[in-house]
Amino acid sequence: MGTISEKKLKRREFLGVAGAGLAAGAAIGFGAGRLVTQPGGQGTGELDKLALQRGLEPEEARSALRIFNPGGKYLDEFIMISSGGHSGQAIILGIPSMRILKYIAVYTPDPWQGYGYGNVESREILKKGSSDVRLLTGGDTHHPDISRTNAEWDGEWACIGDKLSARMAIISFKDFATKEIVRMPNMGSQHGGAHFTPNSEYVACGSFFPTPWEPGKGYKPGSTYIQLTEKNYADFYRGQNIYLAFDRSRGRFDLTRSFQVELPPYVQDLEAVGWGPSDGWTFMNSINTERAIGGVMEGRPALEVAASQRDFDYLHIINWKKAEQLVKDGKAKEMNGIKVVTLDTAVKEGILFFAPEPKSPHGCDISPSGRYVLVGGKLAPVVTAYDVEKIKQNIVDQRFEGTDPYGVPILRFEEVKAAQVEVGLGPLHNEFDDAGHGHVSCFIANEVVRYNLGPPDYTGSNTFTVIDRIKIQYNIGHLATTESGTASPKGKYLVALNKWSIDRFPNVGPLLPQNLQLIDISGEKMQLLYDLPIGLGEPHYAKMISIDKLKPLEVYAVGTDPATFTVSPNAIRKGQERIERHQVGGTWVSEIWGTLLRSTMAPDIIRVKQGDLVRIHWTNVETVRDATHGFGIADYNVMGKIDPGEVATYEFLADKPGVFYYYCTEFCSPLHMEMTGWLEVAPA
Ligand code: RUQ
Ligand code: CUA
């Protein structure tokens, strides 16, 4: 074709390049009237041309303008904390720009952040967060949450769970760094999520795989053994839901005030902790209520077949306030360092109830009013809405259809259901906006589906009806809307966290990035704005908080120990540097107190003897923002950073003689290349 293709013509018409379209303001739908076309109609049409040159459709060009954030401007309205999946990290992004601002090392060492490479503070965090089996240096982060005041996020702390080894981590939003990891007792793995109670008294989290469970003794990783048979599984394996007591002033968990509820050996899945009418209650999904154990090579059907037989599993309903009172009344049993409300006690005292739920469900989310629990059917193409008021009334009235094999009362489905919304194939997670809508990810249909909630969340007609849907590329697992999971979501944006991304990006080999897609949810029709490849582990879940709720530090006050945000006992001032050698037990310790200031590492010569334990306390005495210094020693696997004002300790055994270089790894000044030193290890 000699001239312009039809498609291009159409686009040119739309862009207003053809004909009279270039006249003032009429040019292109993407606001370029203001940018390039001057009043009076004398436009250059430069943006139009650029869009054409790059083959961009008008909507694509418009989307680019809607989210583009030039350097130096602060146009982002939200900060998103996303899990980094099997990278063991958390990801911080700006929304709507979708720019990645930080990876936070949580369960996995990271040399840039000085996490796990000789740095003592982070080593202690990883050590404390390990099990008795061994030091754990990997994790599978799934679900973050943010600390709450009156059920609203206050932006002080975040927590994020490790699915792999049942751990919970606390991150401070003062410095976006991990402060503590705890290994949750009696649990083998977790997938309930991480959920702050409305005033951050506890973080609730449920187990995934049931653990072998010695009655009265519980489970200890690395020692409890009960042979895996179908009978033993039913009789001597158990799930758990934990309430980790949280000390918000220190940002630490307190196991002595924490408690657990023992659950039947179903595979417990995601949960939610309520507010408003659901305050005091936890709702939690389950799969495999068939109690299948697998055994394809032992003559049994595959687990996924045997575990999907029944049309209903059980929504677990836990009265956690009552459980807390039972613990205070001394009715819990101590097992492996935590108080456990046993299954028998939970049944007897009215702590635990079930409601049938179709069918191997996944996400469990509470509507902004606190009135509805929305369950994504996964194998059933419906979102089931449970009415919390009905649940509570039926419990008061003791209206049950029977009990499960462990005596747990089962509510009648029809009595507690508010509605079922037919959404499509593979519904997983529900997130909400400020206009009474739910948005559910449909994994098989590759869609986000929007529906109306019921009153008081949505008071119009057509309650619990699908009103819009948008295609996603591809296989959306999870999604996040702004401040969903609180009483007042903000609307505007939705991020789809997709598990597949085939054909979205240039091929960089068989391991493909995951794909995040930004969607505008402010209008009647949802609109796709942007794709963001994430070259890290799978982002299972994310939370988006209004940026003005965060009050991060700019620098640490000089001499700060970031673990506690107080003055470190090892803080020194410039001129107070010193080296000491002393014996602890049978070991010689060379202990160094040094300072970092552009462009000197003092000391710049450290002489020790082979076999010494070398302990270096660096105080970065800078007071200027961004004056971070790095630290790395050749051949000793020591690496890290020391932020302005920070005191950080690095430790290693100098077991090989030689003369080793160390240097600042951050290009911090014109004389950065000179910011170096020597470590001399004299042969023993
Ligand atoms: S969430 S299995 Cu739907 Cu943890 Cu990813
Ligand atoms: Cu300090 Cu480079």
Q: Of 524, 666, 606, 546, which Cα lies nearest the Cα of 114?
A: 666
Closest atom of ligand 2 to CA, residue 627: 1
Å from CA of 447 to ligand 2 middle: 48
Look at residue 26 and tell me whether its pLDDT is greater than 70: no
Question: pLDDT-based confidence at 15, cuts 50/70/90?
Answer: very low
| Closest residue to atom 1 of ligand 1, CA basis | 540
Instruction: State whether the beta carbon of 86 lies less than 6 angstroms from ligand 1.
Output: no
What is the per-residue pLDDT for 44? 62
Instruction: State whether the beta carbon of 639 lies less than 6 angstroms from ligand 2.
Output: no
Å from CA of 675 to ligand 2 middle: 6
Closest atom of ligand 1 to CA, residue 363: 3
9 or 339: which leads in pLDDT: 339
Question: pLDDT-based confidence at 32, cuts 50/70/90?
Answer: very low
Instruction: State whether the beta carbon of 664 lies less than 6 angstroms from ligand 2.
Output: yes
Look at residue 11 and tell me whether its pLDDT is greater than 70: no
What is the per-residue pLDDT for 388? 98
DSSP codes joined into one string, 49-75? HHHHHTT--HHHHHHHHHH---TT---
Å from CA of 672 to ligand 2 middle: 5
Mean pLDDT of the chain: 93
Please name the residues in contact with 176: beta carbons below 8 A apart, sequence gap of 6 or more: 92, 102, 104, 552
Instruction: State whether the beta carbon of 672 lies less than 6 angstroms from ligand 2.
Output: yes
| Closest residue to atom 2 of ligand 1, CA basis | 540
Looking at the CA of 622, which ligand is closest? 2
What is the per-residue pLDDT for 538? 92
Query: Taking a C-beta distance cutoff of 8 angstroms, is the pair 284, 271 a contact?
Result: yes
CB atoms within 10 A of CB 683: 9
Query: Taking a C-beta distance cutoff of 8 angstroms, is the pair 264, 237 a contact?
Result: no
What is the per-residue pLDDT for 111? 95
Residue with structure tokens 């583009």?
A: 68
Instruction: State whether the beta carbon of 375 lies less than 6 angstroms from ligand 2.
Output: no
What is the per-residue pLDDT for 45? 87
The string of pLDDT tens digits covering residues 455-497 is 999 999 999 999 999 999 999 999 999 999 999 999 999 999 9
Give me the mean pLDDT over the 360-387 stretch.
97
Give me the mean pLDDT over the 436-460 stretch.
97
Give me the mean pLDDT over the 576-598 stretch.
97
Give the chain's length: 684
Å from CA of 670 to ligand 2 middle: 9
Å from CA of 113 to ligand 2 middle: 14
Instruction: State whether the beta carbon of 629 lies less than 6 angstroms from ligand 2.
Output: yes
Question: pLDDT-based confidence at 7, cuts 50/70/90?
Answer: very low
Closest atom of ligand 1 to CA, residue 142: 4
CA distances from 148 to 145, 364, 485, 661 (A): 9, 19, 11, 47
